[in-house]
Structure 1
Amino acid sequence: MSDSEDLNCGSGGGDDRFFGLRVASIFIIGVGSISGALFPVLARRSSWLRVPKSLFDFAKYFGSGVIIATAFIHLLSPALEALGSPCLAEGWQDYPYALALCLLSIFSLFITEFLAFRWGTAKLAQIGAKHDAHGHNVGSHVNHGPEGGMRTTHDHEEGERITPRKTKESDSVRDAELGIVHSGGSTPSSLDSAWVQVIGIAILEFGVVLHSVLIGLTLAVDEDFRVLFVVLVFHQTFEGLGIGSRLAFLEFPGHPQYQKWFPILGALLYGITTPVGIAAGLGVRSTYNPGSTTASIVSGVMDSLSAGILIYTGLVELLAHEFLFNKEMMNASNGKLAYAIGSMLLGCGIMALLGRWA
């Protein structure tokens, strides 16, 4: 039989074996995903579950490694394969469209974030405040990432110093932690900084959610279901741990109502995406073929764009700001630095290894 006869580029062909186990995978993977994402959030706010800070640090850095490996091994590689499928027209073979779309996603995200920060900074300036969202001021002490915790103690450009007044000590400390420097009598809303964190988390979760839906669809009809199922249980749990460790440190100073529900909502949203994808795949299992022309194009494009999102977020928002631009980390002991980098490499290595099967 020729290669062309072996190809199934039509709309049908999804595997229908192990149907009961495929249905059970909706709940099993859902529990693993939600547990991984919710645990850091609930553990941080729990009064009876005393989780040491070192474990939170491990989850944070481990999750960063997971996210970066996901971008390259679990998104970009499948995108190259899908958009290079022999089922596609010859025009798709003439150019590395997956890499081009990934590049487009990276620069689109960069330009959008850059313009958003320019607009936000201008708005803060109008009310008499300056906010260095990425903590690049000379002499600033920063602990930046999507989880927040930004602190600025000096502003050398204007020669201004934050001097908390005794009558408003708590407000001044809060603004200092948010990286807000007052040059007048106005007090900007603390949500200005909080939404910076929300945008960072939303971008990260958007890329992960697209990926989770696609792998759910694939799992529902894939011929190698049993191997893929076992791998995805760990895959989604580790990825959830990475998302949850970021959500756990999301802060809304002065707005406890957002602080209470937003991280939990983000964890639940991540947790249900893969089960939704599996359920949708089971619903169309008689007509959905993940190797078909349409499915290859859709999954290839979505994986390429998601890869760009996670590459930018992982390397810029997580790696660069957690290490290079973080003076606390730059001045940390060799032991703490080795622990952080080792945790990150462990997460990256395990996730890259899982790419051997999924």
Structure 2
Amino acid sequence: MAANLKLAALCLLLLVVSSLPLIVHAECECEQAGEEEHDKAGALKLKIIAIFCILVASAAGCGIPSLGRKFPALSPDTDLFFAVKAFAAGVILATSFVHILPEAFERLGSPCLVDGPWQKFPFAGFVAMLAAIATLVVDTIATGYFQRAHAKKVSAAAGYLEASGADHTQGGHFHGVSAAIASSSFAGESDDGEQLIRHRVISQVLELGIVVHSVIIGMSLGASEDATTIKPLVAALTFHQFFEGIGLGGCIVQAQFRLKSVLMMAFFFSLTMPLGIVIGIVISSTYDENSPSALIVEGLLTAAAAGILNYMALVDLLAEDFMNPRVQNNGRLQVIINISLLAGTALMSMLAVWA
């Protein structure tokens, strides 16, 4: 299922992105007065640096949680794991609220959009809300479907065991006791299986949400010809992708995927923003970010990405961990992860000053 979901999402994103140049081509009707002459060679050099920096940071961030197998301090059962994951969730939350959502409001509220309803209704907030609701629907439907399937398997296995124990009742009291113990163990396995399913759904939905905004941001960076704008973005996006990768990697570790699936998800995450940058470089000659069509498409997609990340950060990352019995029963750990969360949001928010 994970492979099919990712392939479908990638195809959809590539379709949208590949059609963007056709949408915005030859529609440069709202340009800023006194447009500066950009250093295209310098900008291209910075874009190439950005591709490699972001690729390495993404792979490293996503891979760090997997080191818990070799370094016990990084395993999912430690306080450090909860603290790092809370920091990463704070980075994702600040990315959504401070970086992406304001950009969506700016795009859809641009004075270039003189026709249509764009100046009469806050579409950015509306689309972000709908995207968060859509993510909730996907999240709950997927979790419910797989948990019901798992419950049926456990119930069938437990029923078979009880029937087997009943057949051997005449053979002694031992079989009845062993059947009861086994049934109890099946109940425990059912709870563990449902929790595992929840972690797997969270990791897959989170990655799909990250893919949406990573491609959009990467494309915007690749299409830009202003070196002074690109330079701070390289540092900001590298920082962002590293800790976003840690958040995703933590979810992947908790989901206990097979090695092949882990590598595929990490590879997919690491390539999305560099791929967006490459696409942006390719379409930079025909792309005008101030054309009405570009403003509408980017604004709607950015708003949707903000809504998805808001939901994932608050519900599937923070609420999931903050309501964990291990955290609830440990006052010291509660203080640590709250400080870690605030640190993540603060640092990512500060980057908005430069990028």
1:235-260 deviation line (CA, Å, top 9, x unaligned): 22122222122222222xxxxxx422
Aligned position for 1:345 = 342
Q: Distance in 1 between matches of 2:354 and 2:222?
A: 16
Aligned position for 1:200 = 202
Q: Distance in 2 between matches of 1:167 and 1:108?
A: 44
Q: Distance in 1 between matches of 2:311 and 2:207?
A: 13
CA displacement at 1:331 relative to structure 2: 1.5
CA displacement at 1:94 relative to structure 2: 0.7
- Count of aligned positions: 298
Aligned position for 1:230 = 235
Which stretch shifts more, 267-276 or 14-23? 14-23
Asked if 1:82 corresponds to 2:104, the answer is no
Of Structure 1 and Structure 2, the greater helix share is in 2
Aligned amino acid, residue 264 of structure 1: L
Aligned position for 1:94 = 120
Which stretch shifts more, 98-107 or 292-301? 292-301
Aligned amino acid, residue 214 of structure 1: I
| Structure 2: gaps (5+ residues) | 1-28, 157-176
Give 2:222's match in structure 1, choosing from 207, 220, 223: 220
Q: Report the CA distance shift for 1:166/1:34 in structure 2 as closer, same or farther (over 3 A).
A: farther
Aligned position for 1:186 = none
Q: Report the CA distance shift for 1:117/1:274 in structure 2 as closer, same or farther (over 3 A).
A: closer
Q: Distance in 1 between matches of 2:132 and 2:39?
A: 35
Contact map agreement 1:16 1:221 (CA 8 A) in 2 = no
Query: Where in structure 2 are the equivalents of 1:107-122 lying within 5 Å?
Result: 107-120=133-146, 122=148
Q: Distance in 2 between matches of 1:209 and 1:62?
A: 20
Aligned position for 2:255 = 250
Q: Report the CA distance shift for 1:299/1:168 in structure 2 as closer, same or farther (over 3 A).
A: farther
The SS at the match of 2:94 is helix
CA displacement at 1:228 relative to structure 2: 1.5
Q: Report the CA distance shift for 1:309/1:175 in structure 2 as closer, same or farther (over 3 A).
A: farther
Aligned position for 1:297 = 296
Asked if 1:240 corresponds to 2:245, the answer is yes
Contact map agreement 1:61 1:344 (CA 8 A) in 2 = yes
Aligned position for 2:278 = 279
Contact map agreement 1:216 1:275 (CA 8 A) in 2 = yes
Q: Distance in 2 between matches of 1:22 and 1:352?
A: 23
Q: Distance in 2 between matches of 1:4 and 1:126?
A: 60
Q: Distance in 2 between matches of 1:276 and 1:175?
A: 45
Aligned amino acid, residue 52 of structure 2: F
Contact map agreement 1:231 1:354 (CA 8 A) in 2 = yes
Aligned position for 2:166 = none
Aligned position for 1:135 = none
CA displacement at 1:293 relative to structure 2: 2.1
Q: Distance in 1 between matches of 2:124 and 2:218?
A: 21
| Structure 1: gaps (5+ residues) | 131-164, 181-189, 252-257
Q: Distance in 1 between matches of 2:118 and 2:81?
A: 45
Give 2:85's match in structure 1, choosing from 60, 65, 71: 60
Aligned position for 2:4 = none
Q: Distance in 2 between matches of 1:344 and 1:58?
A: 8
Q: Distance in 2 between matches of 1:8 and 1:95?
A: 30
Taking structure 1 as the reference length, the TM-score comes to 0.73
1:23-58 deviation line (CA, Å, top 9, x unaligned): 2321121111111111212x1222xx4535343222
CA displacement at 1:84 relative to structure 2: 1.1
Q: Distance in 2 between matches of 1:173 and 1:125?
A: 14
Aligned amino acid, residue 273 of structure 2: T
Contact map agreement 1:102 1:306 (CA 8 A) in 2 = yes
Q: Distance in 1 between matches of 2:190 and 2:33?
A: 57
Q: Distance in 2 between matches of 1:243 and 1:80?
A: 27
Q: Distance in 1 between matches of 2:280 and 2:234?
A: 14
Q: Distance in 1 between matches of 2:83 and 2:113?
A: 43
Contact map agreement 1:209 1:270 (CA 8 A) in 2 = yes
Give 1:335's match in structure 2, choosing from 314, 317, 332: 332
Aligned position for 1:316 = 315
Task: Report the structure number with the largest CA radius of gyration.
Answer: 2
Computed over aligned residues only, the root mean square deviation of the Cα atoms, in angstroms, reads 3.1
Aligned position for 2:32 = 6
CA displacement at 1:196 relative to structure 2: 3.3
CA displacement at 1:173 relative to structure 2: 5.3
Taking structure 2 as the reference length, the TM-score comes to 0.74
Contact map agreement 1:65 1:347 (CA 8 A) in 2 = yes
CA displacement at 1:349 relative to structure 2: 1.3
CA displacement at 1:98 relative to structure 2: 0.8
1:137-178 deviation line (CA, Å, top 9, x unaligned): xxxxxxxxxxxxxxxxxxxxxxxxxxxx86898996586255
Give 1:176's match in structure 2, choosing from 188, 194, 198: 188
Aligned position for 2:354 = 357
Q: Distance in 2 between matches of 1:102 and 1:236?
A: 21
Aligned amino acid, residue 345 of structure 1: L
Give 1:30's match in structure 2, choosing from 50, 55, 63: 55
Aligned amino acid, residue 353 of structure 1: M
